[in-house]
Each structure stands twice: as structure tokens, then as C-alpha cells.
Chain A
Amino acid sequence: MSNAVVHADAHGHAHAAHHPALQHHFDTMAQQKEAVVVGMWVFLLTEILFFGGLFAAYMIYRMWYFDAFAEASRSLDISWGALNTAVLIGSSLTMAMGVRSAQTNKRIATVNWLILTMVLGSVFLGVKVIEYADKFEHHHVPGYNFQWASAHPSTSLGAGEAPAAGAEHAAPAAEGAAAAEGGPSTAGHRQLALNAEQLQLTTQIYFSLYFTMTGLHALHMIIGIGIMCVITWMSWKGKFDDHYYTPVEMAGLYWHFVDIVWIFLFPLLYLVERHV
């Protein structure tokens, strides 16, 4: 009922007030668009606060467990992270191009740009799967099988000889190993103030936050790709024109927001204190 079409114009060049997409409770297309834009920005504000709780937790634990965070962040593969950053910034570009095409009545171009954006988003998620698989392999997933051997499991403590569950029992042995590990493999790095048991505990916090933050980000990407499927379909069906392209624009805002979150996550998780 509330979506009652006011006046469907066959030419698709309807006067703004009679556009088929105008909902009954708005007076003009401009008012409708303003409402949607304000709503979207308020929503993005809630999203910032949603991630904000995690960033606050990250900040606190990074101050407390500085060494553990530096140590753990070195175990992430910076090249995958860099690749993903590039992919995501590229997808923001293609998304912006898609919005521009929608604004200028280029239907096929819009569809193509949106599909390209989805492909790039999927590449990002694919890389994330590879990275997550690596974490599973090295027992870096927090929980009952978490093991922290060293920053570079291949160089010193093999994953196989790393302490099993129950850090207390394994602590003395691992401590010695960690002390030895402080030598060649991490040459030039600051001496760690933590022993193996403390590292086992506190790197787990790092990975808890790593998985919650990147997991939530990935969930947002999956939702974004879902939204874009709908937008692409609507675009293909010719629902948008230069008077009405708000959904494309809003999907774009959402996508840019998700990108910006990653722009913060990448340095915080991958680059932080790598040189220490």
C-alpha cells in the first residue's frame, strides 16, 4: 500500500514528482532521497560504533600486551594483507564508477562495474580464506587448541613439538625455547619481556581480536556482495535512471564504509610494530 505507484510514466523521463519510485509518504523525489541519505549516514554511524567497541578493546590490550601484539602481528603474512588492501581499494574505485554510470543512465556499464566490484570483493574473501586456513594449520585460532610457539613456527619451534594444551605444564620447556628463539631468527628485534606462558596467553587475545574484527569485516563484505547482487539485478532490469539511482549510491556508501574499516584494520593488525 505504502509503495503505491503515483504515476508510472512509460517514457521513463517522468517529472521528478511523478517518478514511479516515489513512495506515497514523500512529497518529492528530493525529499525521499534526502531521507534515505540521512538514514544511510546514521546507519553508518551505528556501524562505526559497532566496530568501535572492538577498536577500544584492541587499543587497551595493545597497550597492555605490547610485546605479544608485536610478536603476533609478525606472524601474519603482510603480502596477503597488502594484496587484499589493493583489491579492496580497487573495488571501491569500481563501485564509484558503477554509481557514476547509474547517474548517467549507462545501464550496461553500471551492471559491469557492479559485477567487477563483486568479483574483487570475492577475491578479498578468497584471500581471507587462505589466511584463515593458515591460522588453523598453525593452531593460531583462539580456543582450546590454541598454541603459540613463536612468531615464525618454521624457523625455530616446529608446530609439532610445541606445547600441547595446558600452558602451565609446558611452560618451562617452552620458555627455554623462546629464549633461544630470541637469537638468530628475530635478530634486530627488541628483547621480549614475556615468557612463553605469558605469550601463549596474550597472543591468544590478539588472535581473538584478529578473528572477531576480520570476521565481522568479512561478514560485512558478504552482506555487501548480497546487496550488490540485488542492486545489479535491479540495474539490469532498468530500475534506475538519472532521477533515481539512490539504491546504487547507498550500496556504494556501504561498500566504501566496509573498505574504510579495512583501511584501519590492515595497519592495526598487520603492520603494527613489525619493526620492533
Chain B
Amino acid sequence: MLDKLKIPERHYLNNGHGLASWLLTKDHKRIAIMYLISISVMFFLGGLFAVGIRLELATPQGDFVQADTYNKFFTMHGIIMVFFFLIPSIPAVLGNFLIPPMIGAKDLAFPRINLLSLYLLWFGAIFATVAMVSGGVDTGWTFYTPYSTTGSNSHVVPMALGIFIAGFSSILTGLNFIVTIHRMRAPGMTWFRLPLFVWAHYATSLIQVLGTPVVAITIVMVGVERALGFGIFDPARGGDPVLFQHLFWFYSHPAVYIMILPALGVMSELISTFSRKTIFGYSFVAFSSLAIAVFGFIVWAHHMFVAGISTYAAMVFSFLSFSVAIPSAVKVFNWTATLYKGAISFETPMLYAYGFMGLFAIGGLTGLFLATLGLDIHLHDTYFVVSHFHYIMVGGAIMGYMGGLHFWWPKMTGRMYSEFFSRISAILVFVGFNLTFFPQFVVGYLGMPRRYHSYPDEFQVLNVMSSAGASVLGLGYFLPVITCCGR
């Protein structure tokens, strides 16, 4: 039914075909497409490292790669996926493409800055690639000091520089969205008529603008410490590595909401569209986005319950971390109420939306486990944590991204995807995802620590399940590429 879409004679895709017409464009739609291609490449790269990790963990012995190489695998997987895929994914692709038309603007407020932020992402990726091919980084994506500044013999400085630059890409995108949403709305487009997608991006942009500079300066401190021998985080010189963790998580916890909030916005659009109802409790859903953004900034120290912060501080942060569940639950309950008595149809985007709700619920509830002080001491740095954040960041953010990409694919390209294959891929992703990460909850609860390249024999069954699930998941992610290119 949607096979023949009416599109204008001359549109953004055929408005100039040369390389320069794309690379020098200031059109938000073309920039969004270039982002789509760039982060797809990064997703593929990050996925390759994930394959390496799962291959190594298929057997209890460290027989596929050495421990050092394995450290570089999970570090590169984390860095690429977090900084170069998840953070730019929905805002830079769908947000860039859709926010101006959704609010009735001709373009984002600063088209040139928009292009600049794409270039910055590329420059960041180049530095990261230089660090990668010149030997890799083995610090973990968190760059914990003093290992990253004095212990590690890997290429921390170019990698830190790459992340620093990519951070500015994120800041500029957020800045552009904030100004656009504030100043470019068409007459009559009041705040409470904005699509929830736009509200979610507004909340996301606030985090990008307020959080990213802090991690940027932290990375600068790591860089000068490593390159010039400063002693800000080095305990041997009176510095404090826990300070690094505070500064790092002050950004990197909110960064989780940079990844998930846009997905929540996509979800609100998908669920109301495919149940043919207006969203239940619009203003609650809108404000819950802002509430998640605000709460996101005051929960960072739950990453540090075992890092030597005071018991009282830990209790406060534990309590605050629980409170993030409130706005998250507001959203899920409102979606459920929207679905209630709706005329639900199970097209591909809706399948992703359903998958999202399941995975987000599991990820959110296990977050409560980890926010509980006593339980966290048992679960800290086990595969339970790995599984939890994959459920939120991958299960949540990528399901939202894939759902949104399918939903708006016809608008973005003028072509329809294959409904049949896309439904299969949505189901494969859901099944593969659960098969990959649910066993990790169990194996983590049983005590398997993260970041080890070998493990006791009794964990093998669960790890083989996980590796098998990863191949299903990979197929599920790859199928849309084949079906889209094939048509």
C-alpha cells in the first residue's frame, strides 16, 4: 500500500549528485543521511569487536586471543559503541532529519554548525582509529585512572583526543536543537503542542550541553597527566583517582540518558501511531523526559558504591538512583494506557516498539538491583552489570533507533522497506538479544566478573548461549541492510 509514495520532482536526495554537493551541504536532511552512513560504519566496527569478545568467551580458556588483545577488544567495543554510535545515533540521524519539519522550521538554527558537528564526529573517529590501528587501548571505555594515566602502555592520548573532539560534536548538536526548539517554532506551535519526539530531544540536548563539557575537561586532565606528567589523579603524587570517577560519571551516567531519552521519544510516536490513539497523558510524558534528564545528573555516584565513597553519600545516591524509576515508569504506564483499547497493528516499527518495552522493563528493573547498596557490592563489575546496561543502552536505544528508522524510512528515502523481511529481523533482534544478554544476568549473579578473558568451566553453558544469541542478534541487525540495499 505504501509502495508508491508521492515525492516532489526535486528533493534533497537529487539536489546535486557530486561529492561536494553532499560534503558542503548545510541541509539538515543530507547531514542526517551522512550521519546515518557514518554511524552505521561505526556500528559495524563496534560489532566486529563484539564478535571478537564473544568468540573468546565461547570457551573457558583464553585460547582465541591473549588477555592483552582481549582487553583491547572490549575497550574498543565500548568506546566505539558508546561515543561514536549510541550517543549520536537517534539525535544526529532522526533528530536532525525530523525536528525542523516537526516544529515547522526550514532548517536547524545553525546549519553550518550542524555540518561542523558532523565533521567533528569524523575527526574524532579518525583519532580513535589512529589509536586503534597503532596498537589499541586497553583501559576499558571508562579510562579509569591511574591505570590510564600511568599504568597502561596503550595509546590513551590519541583516543582521549578523539573522544574529546567527538564530545564537541555532541555539544554542538544539542546546542543546535535547543536553539531551534526555542526560537524556530512555527507560529501556533506552542510548547505543549510539540511532538513528544521533540520534547525528548529537548531533554536530551540539555544533558548533552550540561554534561559533555565536564567529561571533556576530565579527558583533558587525563591527557595532560599522561602526556606531560601532571599529577591530578595519580595517588603516588597526592592526586585522587576517585575524583576522576566522580567527574567521569557526572557525564557518563547522564550519557546513558542521552542514549535512551531519544528512544523514549521515538517510542511515544510509534505507540500512538500504531495503536491509532493519541498518547495518554501527553504532558506527563513530556515532563517525565525533563525529569529523567534532571535526575540523571544527581545519580552518578551509584557507579562508585565500592570505590570508597562514604556510606552516607552512597545511601543518598542509592535513594536518588531509585527515584529515576519514577519518570521512567510514568512513561511505560502511559504507553500501556495508550495501547489499551487501541487499534493495534503489528508493522515492523511496532514490533520494535514492543521489543523495546520488554527490554526496557527488564533493564530498568535490574537497575533497581544495582542501585541497592548491599546487592551492588555483590553484583559490582560482574556480568550482571554488563547485561543491565546492554538491556538499557542496546536493548533500549537500538530498538528505539531501529523502530524509528523503519518508521521514518519512507519519509527519509522515498522508498518502502520490505515489510516481510523487516518483521523477521525485528523478531530476530528481540530473540537474539534476550538469548545473548539474559544468560549474562545469571552468570553475573553467579559471580563471573566482567573484563576477564577466561572463566571457570561451570560458566561455559551460559556463555555459549550468550555467544549463540550474539550471532542471531548480529543477523537481525544485518538483515535490514540487505533488504534495503536489495530493493
Question: What residues of chain A have their CB less than 8 Å away from a CB belonging to chain B?
Answer: 1-3, 23-26, 31, 34-35, 38-39, 42-43, 45-47, 49-54, 56-57, 60-61, 64-65, 142-144, 198, 201-202, 204-205, 208-209, 211-212, 216
Contact = CB atoms under 8 A, between A and B. Distances in A.
A39 B109 contact: yes
A35 B184 CA distance: 8
A142 B238 CA distance: 12
Interface stretch (B222-230, B336-344, B427-435): B222-230
B247 A38 contact: no
Contacts of A47: 213
B212 interface: yes
Nearest to B186: A27
Given A24-B107, A46-B213, 13 more contacts: A23-B111, A25-B111, A35-B183, A39-B113, A39-B178, A46-B175, A49-B213, A50-B214, A52-B217, A53-B217, A57-B247, A201-B231, A204-B231
9 contacts: A1-B27, A3-B26, A23-B111, A46-B171, A54-B217, A201-B231, A205-B231, A205-B237, A208-B239
Most chain B beta-carbon neighbours within 10 Å: one of A42, A142, A143, A198 = A42
Interface in B220-269: 220-221, 224-225, 228-232, 237-240, 243, 246-247
B282 interface: no
User: Most chain-A CB neighbours within 10 Å: which of B27, B210, B231, B239?
Assistant: B231
Contacts of B246: 56
Contact of A53 (B175, B238, B247): B247
A269 to B, nearest CB: 15
B193 interface: no
B28 to A, nearest CB: 9
Contact of A142 (B176, B179, B216, B230): B230
Contacts of B211: 49
Given A53-B217, A201-B238, A212-B220, A46 B212 contact: yes
A61 B234 CA distance: 13
Nearest to B187: A27
Contact of A212 (B110, B179, B212, B232): B232
B193 to A, nearest CB: 19
Interface string B53-83: 0000000000000000000000000000000
Interface of B: 25-27, 105-113, 171, 175-176, 178-180, 182-184, 209-214, 216-218, 220-221, 224-225, 228-232, 237-240, 243, 246-247
Contact of B107 (A2, A34, A42): A2
List 10 tightest A-B contacts by C-beta distance, closest first. A143-B229, A53-B217, A50-B213, A25-B106, A208-B230, A25-B107, A201-B238, A49-B213, A2-B26, A35-B183
B210 A45 contact: yes
Contact of A216 (B25, B26, B220): B220
A65 B237 CA distance: 12
Contacts of A3: 26
A49 B214 contact: yes
A31 B113 CA distance: 17
Given A2-B27, A201-B238, A208-B231, A42 B175 contact: yes
A5 B413 CA distance: 29
Contacts of A202: 238
Contacts of B238: 65, 198, 201-202, 204-205
A62 to B, nearest CB: 13
A47 B231 CA distance: 24
A46 B205 CA distance: 12
A43 B113 CA distance: 12
A31 B183 contact: yes
B323 to A, nearest CB: 23
B1 to A, nearest CB: 34
A258 to B, nearest CB: 15
A216 B223 CA distance: 13
A57 B243 contact: yes
Contacts of B225: 208
Contact of B179 (A35, A51, A52): A35
Nearest to B108: A25
B111 A2 contact: yes
Contacts of A144: 229
A162 B8 CA distance: 78
Contact of A24 (B106, B180, B228): B106
Contacts of A201: 231, 237-238
A216 B218 CA distance: 13
Contact of A49 (B107, B182, B210): B210
A216 B216 CA distance: 12
A212 B112 CA distance: 31
Contacts of B175: 39, 42-43, 46
A55 to B, nearest CB: 10
B247 A56 contact: yes
B183 A38 contact: yes
B179 A39 contact: yes
Contacts of B178: 38-39, 42
Contacts of B213: 46-47, 49-50, 52-53
Nearest to A47: B213
Contacts of B179: 35, 38-39, 42
A143 B228 contact: yes
A216 B238 CA distance: 22
B270 to A, nearest CB: 28
Contacts of A31: 183-184
Nearest to A58: B232
Contacts of A204: 230-231, 237-238
Contact of B209 (A35, A42, A60, A61): A42
B232 A205 contact: yes
A60 B247 CA distance: 12
B229 A142 contact: yes
Contacts of B110: 35, 39
Contacts of B180: 35
B232 A38 contact: no
Most chain B CB within 10 A, of A39, A50, A198, is at A39
A45 B211 CA distance: 11
Contacts of B224: 208, 211-212
Given A2-B27, A205-B238, A142 B217 contact: no
Contacts of B182: 35, 38
A212 B223 CA distance: 11
A151 B106 CA distance: 61
Contacts of A205: 231-232, 237-239
A65 B240 CA distance: 12
